[in-house]
Amino acid sequence: MIKSTYLEAITSGLREEMARDENVFCLGEDIGAYGGAFKVTQGLLDEFGEDRVMDTPLAESAIIGAAMGAALMGMRPVAEMQFADFITTGFNQLVNNAAKTYYRWGAKVPMVVRCPSGLLPNAGPFHAQNPEAWFFRVPGLKIVAPSTPYDAKGLLKAAIRDNNPVLYFEHKDLYRDKAISQELPSDDFIVPIGEAFIRRPGVDITIISYGKMVHKSLEAAELLSEDGIEVEVLDLRSLLPFDKNMILESVKKTSRLLIVHEDTLTGGIGGEMAAIIADEAFEFLDAPIKRVAAIDTPIPFSSPLESYFLPNTEKIVIALRDLAAY
Amino acid sequence: MRIEIVMPKLGESVMEGTVARWLKEVGAPVARDESVLEISTDKIDTDVPAIESGILTEILIAEGTTVSVGETLGIITTDGEEVLVETDNIDEQKPDQERSPVINIHVNQEDIAISTIIPPSRDRFYSPLVRRIARQEHVSHHELDTIHGTGINGRVTKNDLLGYLKVQTKESSSTEKPLRSDQEMNRPYDLNVADITTMNNVRMSIAEHMVRSKRISPHVTSVSEVDMTDLVRYREKVKEAFLKKEGFKLTLTPFFISAIVDALRKNPIINASLDGDNIVMWKHVNFGMAVGLDKGVVVPVIQHAEAMNFLGLARSAFDLATRAHARRLSVDEIQGGTFTLTNPGMWGTLFGTPIINQPEVGILATGAVKKRLEVMEDETMAIRSIMMMSLSYDHRLVDGLNAARFTESVTQNLENFDYDQIGL
Amino acid sequence: MSIEAAPPATEADIRDNDLDEFGLNRADYRTLFSTMFLQREFEERIYRLFRQGRLEGAAYAGAGHEAIAAGSGYALAAQDVLVPMHRVIGAHFLRGHTPRDMMCQYMGRANGPTRGRDGNMHCGDWEKKIVGMTSHLGANIPVAVGIALASKLRRENLVALTYIGEGGTSIGDFHEGLNFAAVRKLPMVLIIENNKFAYSTPTELEYACENLVDRAHGYGIPGVLIDGTDVRSVYQSTTEAINRARNGDGPTLIEAKCTRLQGHAQHDNASYVPDEVLKDGQKNDPVLKAEDIMIADLHFTSEEISTIKAEMVEAVDDAVSFAEKSPFPAPEDALLDVYAD
């Protein structure tokens, strides 16, 4: 077992997959000698050489398109967007080219696009977004968003081995968070795409969440436990496909649901989950389905604005108490 | 003035740094922007320059120690006035500036992206889950209406319903069979000696209720007589006019109801219920009138009868009885009663020993009105219309004295009816 | 009949087997001309079927582009990858998509290359090393770059050939893709099919430089300007570019000038094209020019030419009747294959 931070887990996942399969290679901006903007790829250039840890020009569309071309050839590229926010400049290659290729003419596109996403303090509107909702509605793409080092490594491996284009959202603020470091097995392991995980079992309210908000939800659940309310925290881990069965089972057990995500409220994927549950578990609901999310604005820079913008433990607690009292 | 040297944040996700080397000793002077120490982080090694000129008076973190971003590493003391140093603590307001408070911890619920809970409306709302459980457990809608709700605005929650069901099963779990068929019949029988059918729901319901009522309340029945002569004559006199005016027949029933409602007002213990050790004195008189139908008895209730005048009672009674016969009563109209009137006299019965309609504590049965030869007060004899009246009452709550006062009150009201109130 | 390889060599072909200065022999010319004529015949038939109400969707014919299609397609080796756009159906034929395949594709049948999932020229087949295009023109370039990248990383000696219209050179992917390929010296060839109009937009509203091939200098790569109506020039320049790529010398930008002889699509009558441009284009009709070469330089008889044409017409007739009898996909098949296993 090796104690790893979230970031170290991703690095070791990359390293192991590149060692295991010579078709796996990394491409992106500043990932080679510089080791990546967040140092995720640090050390990999020395180990695997510049053919497999490739510094590209500043060109997201070309990066993603080239990743698709290489994937068509049977390689398994792992493209990095320096910040998830920059994926928009490669949007077309992802949603119209990569996502639709297998459906249209049967050629597999086994590629991964790693996206450092989520808010770091004062990162502002273009370095802090959670863009998963834009892609959630693209059939042909898969999306994962781990919240722990174990899942970060396991899901990265699963994504690399998957024969479809996979968006991998790694939350920047979890990279070096010592509080969530874990002992990881030294043998190979994967976390299957499409499976959620109950981080905390409970009976009174279900929280569905992913990414960093899982940890905020757990904090809130602990506070409510002091009042005798036991909140079940379900970590989605995969956003597309997502684990509908586990969600329905949990809601049927607790009959009250809160969805928490760091992405903004309107059009965030929580709305889709709520619609599905309202449809398929209507008779198991003893309260309306509620969501805690960021407010519907661009991400502001200054600290007081930012803290108003963001969901946090306090806001989750308020929502949980309301639900419990309903 | 003390200026803190803090561990700077270099790089987006860097949370900590290490003090690599102090470039100055304690007591040494430093100039503004001069490097004071070297630090190293995951991403970069660099120096920390002084914010102001002064003396390095304190080194708080030793070389080789790793601390979080923002921690104080050392102190530079300068000459000059105390000035607030720029820190992250932006709650502090400069007194001569108007600054609105920042970092709201207690956010206004409407403003943040938590869609607020809208409490359910006052008319009893049952969530999909509660309705489903009710359906599965055969809890009728009007039974749901009786359950106490602990949710917002008295909403019945899942737990409220489940709690109610648990109590129900506890009550009935002590006897596994329903009370109504508590004892099996000892006599054997078969199709040769008897025709056999099963009781329908209404029958079962009545049977259950009657057995339970007798078990709950120790029944005492007291019988009295009422001289109905004046009333009968009055009715004869006005019945045509009444029918013409009101469109329905004037029976004795509204007279009974009127008399009883007044008597209940004066003897409120008869208009009460017992809930465990609680005596529940109902504020309204919800007057139930037993109506015999082919398949059984139904008791429509005149709600808030104490607020109605004679005509109101007459109309209400007629309407409810008509709809009872037509099977068009709503659920609300057969619940919530506080006292019941039954009239076996219409079939010729002299008097009865009626069974109390739970959770009430009294039920009055009026017998047939019969012409009899009576000995009057002045010891003359006269032919009078006499009716017997029997009150069954729950002796847990009602004593003979209360009962007697009550029936005396009813009798007085009937024998000295205030015909003016009728308005004919 | 389908063209998957060269048609069988005739006695004359065997007799006259020498390669000429363009590196082509008689059999090659036979194949090239057949392909060009087939493209013309096939696409005219498509437009006719539309006007007859027997086709749905849209079609974007490559009349005027036949030399580019056949000449460049023929320069590919078996292991090379074709990343086509919509006016080079001749290259599809050379790589193994038959007229039946393409007609079923246009008619949205279950046995077409995309099983009805996409229409007109948006088909691909990795086994034939043909990449399916999208409607976002230019998006093909980074994909070709990626294929070339993989080829280089794996030392596979394989070249990616792709195309763009002069209008498409305005889009970001042209720049991003070409730059990436140039920086990394990737084995890719990009042919600009400059047919003077991007839908209705003439070149003077599309770019400001004299010739698009001038941009090659900006990317640090060789640029070649050719007459796109001359199949020999196309073949020769593409071959040279492919060889350069295969030798590790990186990408080449070829600008092939031609004229679009029809509207942008079957729904466009191209009234915006000035008469003299159209007339000039018709005078330089690549199929007619190829036919002239066949007769004048290669001494094909008019009988042989007629036979070839008749065979191509028959191939198209066969494709139409085959496709019209082919089944449509089941409606619920729409749900299948969103994801690969």
Quick one: pLDDT at residue B84?
A: 43
3-state DSSP assignment of residue B280: strand
Portion 355-374 of B in contact with A at CB < 8 A: none
Does B17 score more than 80 pLDDT? yes
Q: What is the pLDDT of residues C119-161, one digit of tens each?
A: 899 999 999 999 999 999 999 999 999 999 999 999 998 999 9
Q: What is the pLDDT of residue B81?
A: 53
Q: State what percent of residues in chain B have pLDDT above 70.
A: 84
Is C134 in contact with A97 (Cβ distance < 8 A)? yes
**C91 neighbors C33 (Cβ within 8 angstroms):** no
How many Å lie between the alpha carbon of B141 and the closest alpha carbon of chain A? Answer: 16
Residue numbers of B annotated as active site: 395, 399
Lowest mean pLDDT among A276-285, B153-162, B219-228, C150-159: B153-162
Beta-carbon separation of A307 and B103 below 8 A: yes
Pick A61's closest partner by Cβ from C123, C172, C338.
Answer: C172
**A227-231, B8-12, C100-104, C178-182: least confidently modelled range:** B8-12
Answer yes or no: is pLDDT of B43 > 80: no
**How far apart, in whole angstroms, are the C-alpha atoms of residue B264 and residue A2?**
83
Least confident range of B95-104, B307-316, C5-14: B95-104
Give the pLDDT score at B97: 42
Strand partners, C193: C165, C256
- Please report the pLDDT score of residue C150 as a whole number: 97
Spell out which residues of chain B touch residue A303, defining contact as CB-CB under 8 Å. 88, 90, 102-103
- Rounded Cα–Cα distance for residues B412 and B263 (Å): 9
- pLDDT-derived band at C24, boundaries 50, 70, 90: very high
pLDDT value at residue B171: 65
Q: Quick one: pLDDT at residue C142?
A: 98
Are A257 and A213 contacting, i.e. CB atoms less than 8 angstroms apart? Answer: no
Of the residues A61, A76, A113, the best mutation for testing chain C's interface (the one with the most C CB atoms within 10 Å of its CB) is A61
Between C134, C160, C338, which is nearest A139 by CB? C338
Cβ <8 Å between B114 and A315: yes
User: How many CA atoms lie less than 13 Å away from B371 in the CB half-sphere?
Assistant: 4
pLDDT at B114: 44
Q: How confident is the model at residue B13 (pLDDT cuts 50, 70, 90)?
A: low
Position B220 pLDDT exceeds 70: yes
In angstroms, rounded to a whole number, what is the distance separating the alpha carbons of residues B388 and B407? 11
- pLDDT at residue B202, as a whole number: 73
Which chains pack against B, by 3+ Cβ pairs within 8 A? Answer: A
Tell me the mean pLDDT in the region C278-307: 95
User: Cα–Cα distance between B150 and C129 in angstroms, integer?
Assistant: 69
In terms of CATH architecture, what is A197-325? 3-Layer(aba) Sandwich (3.40)
Q: What is the pTM of this model?
A: 0.69
Which run of H or of E encompasses B132?
helix B128-136
Mutate to test the interface with C, among A53, A54, A64, A72 (most CBs of C within 10 A): A72
Note the pLDDT of residue C13. Answer: 67
Find tokens 């309310």 and name the residue: A229
Residue-wise pLDDT tens digits, C68-101: 999 999 999 999 999 999 999 999 999 999 999 9
- Residue intervals in chain A for CATH 3.40.50.920: 197-325
Residue to mutate among A229, A286, A299, A303, with most B CBs inside 10 A, is: A286
Q: Is B101 on the interface with A (CB under 8 A)?
A: no
Contacts of A96 in chain C (CB under 8 A): 134-136, 139
What is the average pLDDT across A257-265? 98
Q: Report the residue of chain C nearest A79, measured CA to CA.
A: C146
**Residues B90, A319: C-beta atoms closer than 8 Å:** no
pLDDT of residue A83: 96
Going by pLDDT thresholds of 50, 70 and 90, the confidence category of residue A176 is very high
CA nearest neighbour of B236 among B348, B369, B382, B365: B369
- B20 and B37 in contact (C-beta within 8 Å)? yes
Set of chain B residues whose Cβ sits within 8 Å of the Cβ of A36 = none
**pLDDT score for C55:** 87
Contact B151, B121 (CB under 8 A): no
Nearest Cα of chain A lies from the Cα of B108 at a distance, in angstroms, of 10
B310 neighbors B288 (Cβ within 8 angstroms): no
| pLDDT > 70: percent of chain C | 95
C253, amino acid identity? L
How many whole angstroms separate alpha carbon A255 and alpha carbon B123? 22
Q: Are A269 and A261 in contact (CB under 8 A)?
A: yes
Kindly provide the ipTM of the predicted complex, given to two decimals: 0.88
Which of C104, C105, C115 shows the shortest CA–CA distance to C332?
C115
Percent of chain C with pLDDT over 90: 84
The pLDDT score that the predictor gives to residue B172 is 60
pLDDT at residue B96 tops 60:
no
Query: SS3 helix, strand, coil % of chain B, rounded to 5?
Result: 30, 25, 45
Q: What is the DSSP letter of A39?
A: S
Of A282, A303, A315, the CB nearest to B90: A303
Q: Look at residue C16 in the predicted model and tell me its pLDDT.
A: 64
Q: B touches C (3+ CB pairs < 8 Å)?
A: no
In whole angstroms, give the CA distance from residue B320 to residue B324: 6
* pLDDT the model gives residue B12: 56
pLDDT of residue B183: 66
The single-letter code of the amino acid at A181 is S
pLDDT band at B93 (very low <50, low <70, confident <90, very high): very low
pLDDT (0 to 100) of residue B412: 96
Per-residue confidence (pLDDT) for residue B110, from 0 to 100: 40
Residues of C in contact with A141 (CB under 8 A): none
Least confident of A40-54, C42-56, C215-229: C42-56
State the span(s) of chain A assigned CATH 3.40.50.970. 3-183
Is A68 near chain B, with CB under 8 Å?
no
Best CA proximity match to B300, nearest among B267, B262, B269, B332: B332
So what's the pLDDT on residue B91? 42
Question: What pLDDT score was predicted for residue C102?
Answer: 97
Whether the per-residue pLDDT at C3 is higher than 70: the answer is no
Closest C-alpha among C113, C105, C89 to residue C57: C105
The class that CATH gives domain A3-183 is: alpha beta
- Whole-number pLDDT of residue B48: 83
Average pLDDT over residues C166-190: 97
Of A62, A102, A103, the CB nearest to C145: A62
Write down the pLDDT at residue A6. 98
pLDDT at B120 over 70: no
Instruction: Tell me: pLDDT of A200 over 80.
Output: yes
Which among B351, B32, B117, B383 is positioned nearest to B223, based on CA atoms? B351
Q: What is the DSSP string of C233-278?
A: HHHHHHHHHHHHHHTT---EEEEEE----S-SSTT---TTS-HHHH
Q: Tens digit of pLDDT for each residue in B166-202? A: 887 776 655 555 666 666 777 888 888 888 887 777 7
Distance in angstroms (rounded) separating the CA atoms of residues B86 and B383: 110
Looking at residue B98, its pLDDT comes to 43
Choose among A264, A293, A308: nearest Cβ to B104.
A308
Contacts B127 to A, Cβ<8 Å: 285-287
Tell me whether residues A308 and B157 touch, CB distance under 8 A: no
- Section C274-283 average pLDDT: 92
Check CB contact of B129 with chain A, cutoff 8 Å.
yes
Q: What percent of chain A has pLDDT over 90?
A: 98
- Residue B67 and residue B16 in contact, taking contact as beta carbons nearer than 8 Å: yes
Average pLDDT over residues A103-109: 97
Contacts of B115 in chain A (CB under 8 A): 265, 290-291
Report the residue from B103, B131, B158 with minimal CB separation from A304.
B103
Residue C184: band (very low, low, confident or very high) from pLDDT cuts 50, 70, 90: very high
> Cβ of B132 under 8 Å from any chain A Cβ?
yes
Q: Do B13 and A120 touch (CB under 8 A)?
A: yes
Lookup: tokens for B173: 């779990």
* pLDDT of B95 above 80: no
